Structure 1
Amino acid sequence: MTGDDDARTYAVVVNDEEQYSICWNDRDLPAGWRREGTAGTRSECLAHIDEVWTDMRPLSLRRWMDEQAPTG
């Protein structure tokens, strides 16, 4: 059995900077993280993250870059 195919259920989690990760579904989350709503196998959760996390920049950086962009 590989690490990708273990029997545990995972949850997709996201922090205030809109960065994604996974954790075991039955564990308490570390401070600053919340459940995104997707749960399943490790592979399923990672595939979901690949789909939805298209901009790897932290939210604060994206906002700053938007503020710096010329208007016109």
Structure 2
Amino acid sequence: MPTTHQVLVNHEGQYALYPATRETPDGWTPAGFDGTEDECAAFVDAHWPDIRPLSLRGA
């Protein structure tokens, strides 16, 4: 059975995949999506087209 992952986002608007069974690390917030690694990667691809941190996107 594949590991369930969750999508996390930090204060810079950067996304990460993280095992859903583990406690969310400091500095990260659940983005409200979980699934297989491939499903989570597809979610990130659809929601994070500009991978620069927020602090650089506004510059």
Q: TM-score, normalised by structure 1?
A: 0.76
Unaligned runs of 5+ in 1: 1-5, 66-72
Q: Are 1:22 and 2:17 matched, yes or no?
A: yes
Residue 30 (structure 1) shift: 1.3
State the secondary structure of the residue aligned to 2:44. helix
Greater relative contact order, per chain length (Cα 8 Å cut-off, separation 6+): 2
Q: Provide runs of 4+ in structure 1 moved above 4 Å.
A: none
Superposed CA deviations along residues 19-62 of structure 1, whole A, max 9, x for unmatched, are: 00110111111110010000000000001101110111101112
Structure number having the greater strand percentage: 2
Structure number having the greater helix percentage: 1
Unaligned runs of 5+ in 2: none
